[in-house]
């Protein structure tokens, strides 16, 4: 219980310290856009692969429950 509370407090402090900064004189490199795009497309591809794997397992399970084995 204490570990969970400490974790929640630490996450809250990190979140609020990132949101309420006075000014950030930051520069976003043009290459950052392509890295972000690769991250998004890779995540979509990963979700697709995981969904395909579990869809086959779920389909087999429901077929066996309904008595329609191959």
pLDDT attached to residue 14? 82
pLDDT attached to residue 70? 57
Q: Does residue 68 fall inside a structural domain?
A: yes
Q: Does residue 35 fall inside a structural domain?
A: no
Q: Does residue 29 fall inside a structural domain?
A: no
- Greater confidence (56 vs 26) lies with 56
Domain of residue 45: give its range. 41-70
In this structure, what token pair is assigned to residue 21?
A: 């900064």
d(CA 3, CA 23): 33
Res. 5 pLDDT band, cuts 50 70 90:
confident
Res 38 pLDDT > 90: yes
Task: Give the number of domains in the chain.
Answer: 1
> From the centroid of its chain, how far is CA 42?
11
In DSSP notation, 17-47 reads HHHS-S-------THHHHHHHHHHHHHHHHH
**10-19 LR contacts (CB < 8 Å, sep 24+):** none
- The pTM for the full model equals 0.48
pLDDT attached to residue 37? 92
Mean pLDDT of the chain: 83
């Amino acid at each position: 219980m204490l570990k969970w509370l400490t974790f929640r407090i630490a996450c809250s402090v990190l979140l609020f310290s990132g949101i309420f900064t006075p000014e950030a004189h930051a520069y976003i490199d043009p290459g950052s856009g392509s890295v972000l795009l690769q991250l998004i497309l890779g995540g979509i591809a990963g979700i697709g692969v995981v969904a395909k794997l579990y869809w086959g397992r779920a389909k087999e399970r429901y077929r066996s429950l309904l008595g329609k084995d191959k």
